[in-house]
Structure 1
Amino acid sequence: MTVPTPDPNLDLSFTRDVPLPPEAIWTAWTVPEHLLPWFCPKPWQTVECGIELRPGGKFYTVMRSPEGETFPGTGCYLEVIPNRRLVWTNALLPGFRPAPVEAGEGSCGDFHFTAIVELEPIATGTRYTATVKHRDAAGRAQHEGMGFEAGWGAALAQLVEYMQAKSG
């Protein structure tokens, strides 16, 4: 599947080069015990995770705020290319069932999105690109206001630190 160029009016994206092989990043994204320690920026925590790693499969997390409030999120995998690309959306539930129009029950406010994580091997590790596609400018603005790049960037830094500690 070719991913269209991000639309700056609707999408948020960032690219970072990280000192891990794609396989390590893939493991961190696709094995619940490895996703839990890093998935949301501290002091938030991911306290539950369920992964059915196949198109139509469930991607489920529960995040806990520093105040103890929990935020469950359920999505559906759209594309799974091991060690290269992972695509999921909260606009669909497992089995490609449409999610309720009001997505406000999840950890991402009241907007639907499709997330794409792309892993490209490079000499020093992996070129990591995260893109989140939104239905409308309002959803994009809300996600940006929640600190998309800082939050996803902090989570990526935590992923790298966690996986380096696991292999060291």
Structure 2
Amino acid sequence: MTHIVENFDPKLDLVFERDIDIAPELVWAAWTKPEHLVHWFTPSPWKTLEAQSDLRPGGLFSSVMAGPNGERHDNHGCYLEVVENRRLTWTDALGPGYRPTGNSFITAVVSMEPLPNGGTRYIACARHKDEATVEAHKQMGFQEGWGKALDQLVAYMKQR
């Protein structure tokens, strides 16, 4: 059982899990290097315009997303946990240096477990502050969106 599933609260958490055919090191690079994040992070037709990553606990994790109808969504938060090639945890409730932001939509954990075939068991957990926020994330298309973004990550990293 993974770190994420052990702490899973079905009332407050959403989980996306899939086995993919790229190594954890490639998934890690896709998640931690802004030059890669801008190519896959936002499910199409949305685009990621900018990404920043100060890869350390308390460091900035930020992206700017743009929608097909001119929507713009700025995401700013900080890393809580950084375990190379294995797990990233970040939240929008805190900014760099663990400073409270006054926002709180998500704390996310992405786990990358190596598979015997050289691939990765990819597990993403979105933790929410309340049931209303969980429901809003479901309505936004959590499963479809995270699945589409992961497909984009795999396709992009296979071209590298």
TM-score normalised by L of structure 1: 0.90
Q: Percent identity?
A: 52
Aligned counterpart for 1:112 among listed residues 105, 110, 124: 105
Matched, 1:128 2:105: no
Any runs of at least 4 consecutive aligned residues in structure 1 with deviations exceeding 4 A, and if so which? none
Q: Which amino acid is 1:53 matched to?
A: L
Q: How many corresponding residue pairs?
A: 156
Aligned pairs for 1:44-83 within 5 A? 44-83=46-85
CA drift of 1:14 comes to 1.6
Distance in 1 separating the partners of 2:86 and 2:101:
27
Matched, 1:150 2:152: no
Aligned pairs for 1:70-109 within 5 A? 70-100=72-102, 103=103
Q: Which is richer in helix?
A: 2
SS state of the match for residue 152, structure 1?
helix
Q: CA-atom RMSD, angstroms?
A: 1.0
Aligned counterpart for 1:32 among listed residues 31, 34, 41: 34
Structure 1: tracts of 5 or more residues without a match: 104-110
* CA displacement, residues 77-121 of structure 1 (integer Å, 9 cap, x when unaligned): 000000000000001111101111xx3xxxxxxx52110000000
Structure 2: tracts of 5 or more residues without a match: none
Aligned counterpart for 1:8 among listed residues 7, 10, 27: 10
Q: Which amino acid is 2:128 matched to?
A: H
